[in-house]
A and B are shown apart, each in its own frame.
Chain A
Amino acid sequence: TQLLEQSPQFLSIQEGENLTVYCNSSSVFSSLQWYRQEPGEGPVLLVTVVTGGEVKKLKRLTFQFGDARKDSSLHITAAQPGDTGLYLCAVSSNTGKLIFGQGTTLQVKP
């Protein structure tokens, strides 16, 4: 069983639409990270959320950490083709080992 369950696994939308990606777990975490990975590249850190209920914004991307620190969501407003990629949530152990969800593949069509 996956520690972090992401949904949906695949999303194909038209440019300009809004979308939300979810990352759920039954465990409580001190922090949670979101990464984006483009084809041929490694994952790049987008944001780290730390406090329950925290909301962080990065341009058209809005990240929220659940009140109980067990889940998180990523909302994209007015998606662009440049948002296409694999979105990964992850948690870090105290030694720096990252545990990833299985990812959400997003395709934004012009």
Chain B
Amino acid sequence: DAGVTQSPTHLIKTRGQQVTLRCSPKSGHDTVSWYQQALGQGPQFIFQYYEEEERQRGNFPDRFSGHQFPNYSSELNVNALLLGDSALYLCASSLPAGGSEQYFGPGTRLTVT
């Protein structure tokens, strides 16, 4: 049973560019959440997708957008990259009920130069 997978593992982009990160949830999970984690800090909630809709959003600008596909996989898009967007981007999947355990992928390390 595959856990949460993310691609790519590492990515280097230039300021102003756009990036797309991908996530496949754990088998049987239909809810996907995205988090941003700066080095040595705790993850910060970006948004959550359920039934192909954004269900909840954290305090992130509109440059951050997402999508969920019918197979429950998800994408995170970031436009007009800033140096401060350099971070580890984590995807977590769960069942939709509140309190369900979230399983995290290994993350995508994004470096903006």
- List residues of A whose CB falls within 8 A of some B CB: 4, 6, 9, 31, 40-45, 86, 88, 90, 92-103, 105
Contacts and interface: CB of A to CB of B under 8 A. Distances in A.
Instruction: Say what secondary structure dominates the interface of chain A.
Output: loop
A96 B12 CA distance: 31
Contacts, number: 68
Contact of B105 (A42, A88, A105): A42
Given A4-B42, A42-B107, A95-B98, 11 more contacts: A6-B42, A40-B107, A42-B92, A43-B104, A95-B48, A95-B56, A96-B96, A96-B102, A98-B43, A98-B45, A99-B45
Contact of A100 (B40, B42, B94): B42
Interface of B: 4, 31, 33, 35, 40-45, 48, 55-56, 58, 90, 92, 94, 96-102, 104-107
Contacts of A45: 101-102
Given A97-B45, A97-B48, A98-B33, A86 B98 contact: no
Given A94-B98, A98-B33, A105 B40 contact: yes
